[in-house]
Amino acid sequence: MKYLITESQYRKLFLEERKPKEIEGCYVFNDMNQRDFCKVIQDELSNNLDLYQPKMESLLKQYFSSEEKKSKIQMEVLSQDADIVKKGFNDIDEITKKISKNCPKSKEVAARMKKNWLSKYKLYFKDHAGEYHLLNRLDTNYTAMAVLITIYYRELINQVRVWASRKHTPTIRFANDWIAHFFNPSTQLLDPRKGWEKDILKSQSPLIKPPSHVSLFDDLFDSQEFVVQQSEEQKNFMLALQQVRDKGFKTEDLFKRRLDKYGIENERYSYDFSFVDMVLGIDFLIKQKKGGEDYWVPVQVKSTFKEKFNLIDMFQCTKVIKPELIKINGSDDFKIGDIRGFEEYFCGEHKYCRKKEVKKIYAPSSDDYLNSKEFEN
């Protein structure tokens, strides 16, 4: 018997059931060979995300444009006339006005970045209810992509590793070729098992043909509702999408709490499908006063050192802030440039923090005390 539940119920169910690390990533695979393969693929994708992002978008567009697909997830190809784009670009225009004193070229740079964003077709995915779907994050989530590619090749990985137990065939030697084949199946798939056909034990056979992308995506991109009895592969894939998103928001939530704690005036722009975040790379604006006028400083927060700050750097602002989450004395904190610690940077080095007014309590005068009820008692 199968039971249907909503997407939010499904996420809560399997996330609580597994009690995972903050981001399991490739450790969702219990098989050591699949896990090691996934980690090598993840490193390659993270180092060359600009190369693989459009390739992933192209695969998704092919699948959702196919008449064979079963998924009920909806895809919208965005243009500048789409309501969500109009609103997003309007938000960008408002931001560029605010930061113009700090970033004199902001309007010019933002116009160029909007045009560049539109020049690459952009997809927007909605669930069966028309709400934002996590699939929107796949093309920039190298961990989820690595999990996806590992699921695609899982049978072949087992084949290669049986041979590799006797022959040294590290994944790094064929990772790039297998990634290229995943994104373009018409290219020949490299068989890294050199000389397998001459194996006197006759224990090997030609590589198994990987599944089609339609069948793979049908399995992973579920139909209209999530089903409790779901495949382990789909759980692993959804987990990778969910955890990386949650990690990013958790980092930004922590940064927001620190700003508010010290009375630092700010505006937040990090949320699902935020154009200010996606197109400009700005998560927050922090307000200062300069010459008696508002002076806004853009901020881009990162959860790991692997994430790049390339978008925000394009504005060539006089001042930007790029906090990176680190551990200091066992606790989560932020490193900004060479300064370790939120408080040291914002309160010590740059004096952003507002001093809280301390309510002074004065002792009563002797006359007041002698006439009080406490003295009579």
pLDDT tens, residue by residue, 293-318:
899 999 999 887 655 556 778 888 99
Question: Do 44 and 192 have their domain in common?
Answer: yes
75 lies in some domain: yes
Q: Which of 243, 260, 278 is the last residue of a domain?
A: 243
| From 102-116, 164-178, 353-367, the region with the lowest mean pLDDT | 353-367
Question: Do 183 and 264 have their domain in common?
Answer: no
Q: How far is CA 333 from the centre of its chain?
A: 19
Would you state the pLDDT for residue 266? 96
Name beta bridge partners: 323. 336
pLDDT bucket at 331, cuts 50 / 70 / 90: very high
Would you state the pLDDT for residue 14? 47
Distances (CA, A) of 236 to 118, 143, 159: 32, 11, 22
* 111, 119 contact by CB (below 8 A): no
d(CA 125, CA 273): 10
368 lies in some domain: no
Question: Do 209 and 293 have their domain in common?
Answer: no
| Dihedrals phi, psi of 333, to nearest 5 degrees | -155, -170
Question: Do 299 and 280 have their domain in common?
Answer: yes
Instruction: Classify residue 30 as exposed, middle or buried by CB count within 10 Å of its CB (0-12, 13-18, 19+).
Output: exposed
- Mean per-residue pLDDT, 341-351: 92
Would you state the pLDDT for residue 284? 96
Helix, strand or coil, per DSSP, at residue 283: coil
Q: Which of 207, 222, 243 is the last residue of a domain?
A: 243
pTM, full prediction: 0.78
Angle between helices 7-18 and 232-261 (to 10 degrees): 90
The pLDDT of residue 255 is above 90 = yes
362 lies in some domain: no
| From 74-83, 193-202, 286-295, 343-352, the region with the lowest mean pLDDT | 193-202
Question: Do 14 and 28 have their domain in common?
Answer: yes
Would you state the pLDDT for residue 1? 46
Helix ranges restricted to H, the chain: 7-18, 32-47, 49-64, 83-98, 106-119, 142-152, 154-164, 175-183, 213-220, 232-261, 275, 310-313, 342-343, 366-370, 373-376
pLDDT bucket at 221, cuts 50 / 70 / 90: confident
Domain count of the fold of the chain: 2
**Residue 282: how many CB atoms within 10 A of its CB?**
26
- Mean per-residue pLDDT, 192-197: 76
Question: Do 101 and 194 have their domain in common?
Answer: yes
366 lies in some domain: no
CB contact set of 103 (below 8 Å; sequence gap of 6+): 96, 109, 298, 315, 316, 317, 318
Would you state the pLDDT for residue 285? 96
Domain housing 253:
248-349
Would you state the pLDDT for residue 231? 76
Mean pLDDT computed over every residue of the chain:
83
pLDDT bucket at 223, cuts 50 / 70 / 90: very low
Would you state the pLDDT for residue 224? 40
Would you state the pLDDT for residue 343? 94
Would you state the pLDDT for residue 9? 53
Question: Do 183 and 322 have their domain in common?
Answer: no
